Structure formats: structure tokens, C-alpha cells
Amino acid sequence: MDTLLSYDWFFIATSLVKTLVIIFGVILPMVSYSVYAERRVSALIQDRLGPNRVGFPTTLLGFKKDLQLFLGGLGQPIADGLKFILKEDFTPAHVNKFYFWLAPILVIVPALLTLAVLPFGSSLDFDFIFQRIFGHGFGPVKMVIADIDVGILFVFAISSLSVYGIVLAGWSSNSKYPFLGGVRSTSQMISYELSIGLSVIPLFMIFGKLNLSAIVRFQAEHGWLLFPFTNGEFTWQKIALWVPCFISFIIFMVSVFAETNRLPFDLPEAETELVAGYHTEYSSMKFALFFLAEYTAMIAGSGLVVALFLGGWHLPFIPDGAGNGGLEILHHLPNWIWGFVNIGVFFGKVSVLIIFFIWVRWTLPRFRFDQLMRLGWIWFFEIALVNIFLTAGVLALFPN
Amino acid sequence: MAYVVPRPKLTLAEKLYLPAIVAGLAITLKHFKKALFGKGNVTMQYPEQKWDASLPEHYRGAPTLVKDEHDRERCVACQLCEFICPPRAIRIKPGEIPATNKFAKVEKFPLEFDIDMIRCIYCGLCEEVCPEQAIFLRKDYSITGLTRAEMVHDKAKLYELGGVMDGLVHKWNPKK
């Protein structure tokens, strides 16, 4: 009883710390700086410069110049955030007030909830501190907020809910263009949800489990799904499995683009056609929530791709937070350092994917409505189905 | 004869669409790299770099008043510019030149001449209408101020911006 109580207390405390640090310390800064990255990268792609002026306002503290770190404009996200807070939060008279207020919440909450099951690191071992304070250790702490066995299914279940927010925003705005945006969002969802679900079934046939941290652990030991020879021994099965994995990756990646409403599938927003789509009537912080949700969903989607296909926190030759694997010589350093390196590796991979998202956005034109439906229903749905049988065949032909 | 536009035959690679995406990504990457190393961008960093040198001769900047070679105000306070000004930015209070003055035959001069630069639309009609060629649109384009009062150019300011222009109108010149 005594140990159980102490365990519960420790579990709750670590979960709380993980949640707060990840959301306020990592995700929200990452969101604001991916907006900055979006603006800078888009500018460079279009032969412009982008925001390069705003520094940190040290002039307010009596210094002569604003502080400019590395490259200019790093204070821009802070200025943007302040602008959103200071603007008038206007609710038009013709909207359905309750749903109008509910919609931004329904968009941001699922986006943040999906982060709960993402394994953003291996584990952190602070027993050398706990030994001093409590007299006994607690063992390494897993770097995932909720280590649940439904894992990926949880992500699918929750992330689809954000569509309700978009539809409600479009409908409650009681105006033409937001309504069209909301309707588009619905039909977009039913086009990609099927293929995104079917595209990951081959992965479960390979991994044999749904728990995301177990999936990453599997990849750390047997090599990443897309780059099978990052770890583990050479087998013919790996080479044969690479083909269905790659097909799954393409379908999953494209569907994530659709899920996060990014170009080329930003039909619900479609600035050139629908003014601003579902959030036309929104202003100030309520608009900012839609904006934050889009980028949070982008981070969550990238995190999912990293965890499923790109080996999560694993990097060859780097040991995990419990001191397993990696080069022998690196084991001289304490384990918690490698725990932090693993976290850094994960978010590094996510950042690369976000840059890829931005890169694609400023390359491809928007798909037409029927083209997206066609892509989802005629191509990806069938390819994903065939891919399941292909994987099954490969697994039967090349037993481990 | 009716001209039939041939429908393009797409190859398999074009139908797959993925190679086209890769090609597009390569193009944007090329621009990205060029701009990253400062070769591709065409943006002018405004307050540090200015385009003053490449302003055309006919550029219409802030309206100004000019004096002639005898340091005489060219303006005779006829108020034509005030009446033609579409946004009513100009306000003139005419005064009389005393009989003792060398240019007494000009009769009038502006006691006050205000141009409200918040209202001015830089159309240049004042310059067009002026029979004495006293008002010119110069190349000053960055007219800024912190108060409304600061944005009203009075006579002194207008002459300071305008300066001297000689040999345009000779009818008041006693030697000619």
C-alpha cells in the first residue's frame, strides 16, 4: 500500500511536469517559430527576404539597440502574439454565439490532445537526484505523456474531432464563405480518413503492436521503417518490406497534409477562393486559436510520421536514456544526457519535416475539390488496400 | 478553317504526378538556395537603401514653393491652386505688397501659405494651374510627422523645400 501510494504520487507528478513542459516549453514556442520559419522560407523561395527586423525589445530596458540574435526577425513571433492579444475580439451580431465560441476550442483541443501519446524521447533517469532526496530511486521515466496501448488509434480518433470545430466554425458564422469552407472540410475528411487508416495497417502487421513508444522501440532495435539498415542485422525481409513501407509512407504523408489542412489540400481555408474559409468571421485570439491549431496539428502530424516511419528518437550510434544500444564509448557519460539527446533528435526530425511541409506549401498549387476526392477514393483507398495484401505476402514469403 | 487544339498525350511519369512534384520542389529549392546566399533577392532594404538616384524626372513628390533669382516670392497669391486642389489641401491668405517695394506692381503676395500634407494627394494640379510657375512638385516623398500640426507645411517650410528656380517667368523682371 505504501509503495503504491508513493508510485501514484510520482506518476502524477511526472505526468504533470511532462505535460506542462511539452506544451508550454516545447510545442507553443515551436508553433510560433514554425510560423516564423514559414514566413522566412516562403520569402526566400519567392526571392524575398521576409521579416528580418524585429529583435528582442531591449530598448524598453534602457539599452540603445534592440537585441538581434544570429539572424534578424527572431522577435517577430512575440510581436505577432502580442498583436493577437491586443486586437479587438469581435463577435459579429449575426453568428450563433455559443457554437461560434465553441469552435476554436474544438479545433485546438484535439490538436493538443494528440501530442499526449507521441513518444518524444526514450526515457530520462534522474535516480541519482531522487536517491539523495527520497532515499530510493524510481527508475527511468518514459518520455511520453500517456503510454497507452491503443496509441495510434487514439491519435486517429482524436485528430478527426478537429473537423467538428472547423464545421461548427463554418456553420455558426452564418455567412457564405465560412459555410463553404466547413462543408469542404467534411468531405475532405471522409476522403482521406479511410486511406490514412488503411495505410498504417501494414505497419501493425510488421510491428505487431499499436503502442507508439513500443513501435519506436522496435524501430530502434530493428532499424527504421524507411531506412531499414540504421540498426539491426541484414535480412532479405527488410529489403522486401521496404516497398510496401514506402507506399504506406507516401499515402500517410499525403493524408497528413490533408488532415492538417495544409497546401495542396487547404480547401477549407482556400484564401484565393473563400476569403479565409471557415475562419473568415473570426478575429483576435479566437482566430489565433485556429492558427495555433493548424501548426500544432502540423507538429503532431510530423511527430506521428517520425514515430511511425523515421525511427522516432533513435539515431544510429546514440544510446537511449536507459543506457542500451549505441556505441560502447558513449556509455561513459551519464544516461540522462543521452535521454536529452534522444528528445533533441526527435524534435530535430520533427523540425525537418515541418520545413518540408512549408517547402511543399510554397511549391504546389491547391488541388481542386473533385481532384482531392478522386485522389482519396480512387487512388489512395485502393492502393492502401492492395498494400495490405502486398505486406502480408512479403511477410509470408520472407519469414524472419 | 477551324483550328483544333491538340490534346497533349501524357506519359506515365506525368500521369503519376509524383515526378512533377519532385521537379517543382527542385525549382523552389533552387530559388531558396539562391536567396539564402543573397544572390536571388530583389528586395530593397528601405530605410538604409533608397531609390532616390533612380527617381524619374517627372516624379511627383511633395509640392513646394520657389523663389526667383532676385529672392522674390514667385507666388502672387492668385489662389488658383487653392481652388483647383481636389482634396482642398492648400490654404492661402493673400497680402498686399507695399508701394515702396521694388516689385510693387506685382501687387499681391501670400501672407500665409499652408499645404496640409495629410490631405495632399500629390496630383500635381497646383503645379499645372500656376500661371507664375511658383509651385512645383519636388522629389521629397517621405513626409512624416508625429502630430497633425507637424504635417501642415507652412510658407517657411515650403520655401525651404523649394529653394530657388531662375529664368522661368520674366514678366516681372525690370531689365527685360
Under CATH, which architecture does the B57-162 domain have?
2-Layer Sandwich (3.30)
Residues of B in contact with A359 (CB under 8 A): 25, 28-29, 32
CA separation for the pair A167, A107 (Å, rounded): 10
Residues of B in contact with A41 (CB under 8 A): 32
Task: Read off the pLDDT band of A222 (50, 70, 90).
Answer: confident
Indicate whether A79 belongs to any domain. Answer: no
pLDDT at B160: 87
DSSP element (H, E) containing A12:
helix A2-20
Residues of B in contact with A251 (CB under 8 A): none
Amino acid at B116: D
Could you give the 3-state DSSP secondary structure of residue A262?
Answer: coil
Of the listed ranges A4-13, A230-239, A330-339, B131-140, the least confidently predicted one is: A4-13
- Give the DSSP letter of residue B104: G
Indicate whether A74 belongs to any domain. Answer: no
Indicate whether A189 belongs to any domain. Answer: yes
Across residues A368-396, what is the average pLDDT? 87
The beta-carbon neighbor of A364 closest among B21, B32, B35 is: B21
Could you give the 3-state DSSP secondary structure of residue A74?
Answer: coil
The residues of B whose Cβ lies within 8 A of any Cβ of A are: 18, 21, 24-25, 27-29, 31-32, 34-36, 40-43, 45
Which candidate in B28, B30, B33, B45 is best for mutational testing of the A interface (most A CBs within 10 A)? B28
For the question of an ipTM over 0.95, the answer is: no
Instruction: Give me the residue spans of the domains in chain B.
Output: 57-162
User: Does A5 have pLDDT greater than 70?
Assistant: no
User: Does A4 have pLDDT greater than 60?
Assistant: no
Task: Read off the pLDDT band of A132 (50, 70, 90).
Answer: confident
Across residues A146-159, what is the average pLDDT? 85
Phi-psi region of A89 (alpha: psi -120 to 50; beta: other; left: phi over 0): beta
Residues of A in contact with B18 (CB under 8 A): 250
Q: In total, how many domains does chain A have?
A: 1
pTM of the model: 0.79
Cell 526566400 belongs to A44
CA separation for the pair A280, A274 (Å, rounded): 8
> Do A41 and B43 make contact, defined as CB atoms within 8 angstroms?
no
> Do A43 and B35 make contact, defined as CB atoms within 8 angstroms?
yes
pLDDT at A146: 81
pLDDT at A312: 81
Of the listed ranges A133-137, A219-223, B33-37, B148-152, the least confidently predicted one is: A133-137
The beta-carbon neighbor of A359 closest among B18, B28, B42 is: B28
The average confidence (pLDDT) of chain A is: 83
Helical pair A176-199 and A381-397, crossing angle rounded to 10 deg: 10
> Do A46 and B36 make contact, defined as CB atoms within 8 angstroms?
no
Cβ–Cβ < 8 Å for A256, A304: yes
pLDDT at B123: 92
Residue from B156, B167, B152 nearest B65 by CA: B156
Could you give the 3-state DSSP secondary structure of residue A7?
Answer: helix
Residues of A in contact with B24 (CB under 8 A): 363-364
pLDDT at B175: 66
CA separation for the pair A346, A144 (Å, rounded): 12
Residue from A111, A149, A113 nearest A289 by CA: A111
Q: Residue A240 sits in which domain range?
A: 90-125+146-397
The beta-carbon neighbor of B28 closest among A43, A48, A363 is: A363
CA separation for the pair B167, B176 (Å, rounded): 11
Q: How far is B6 from chain A (nearest CA, A)?
A: 23
Indicate whether A32 belongs to any domain. Answer: no
Report the chain A residue with the minimal C-alpha distance to residue B37: A44
Residues of A in contact with B48 (CB under 8 A): none
Q: Could you give the percent of chain A with pLDDT greater than 90?
A: 3
Strand partners, A142: A123
CA angle A148, A153, A156 (to 5 degrees): 125
pLDDT 10s digit of each residue in chain B, 176 long? 789 998 988 888 888 788 888 888 999 998 888 888 777 667 788 888 888 888 888 889 999 998 888 788 888 889 999 999 999 999 999 999 888 888 888 888 899 999 999 999 999 999 999 988 889 898 888 888 899 999 999 998 888 888 888 777 777 776 65
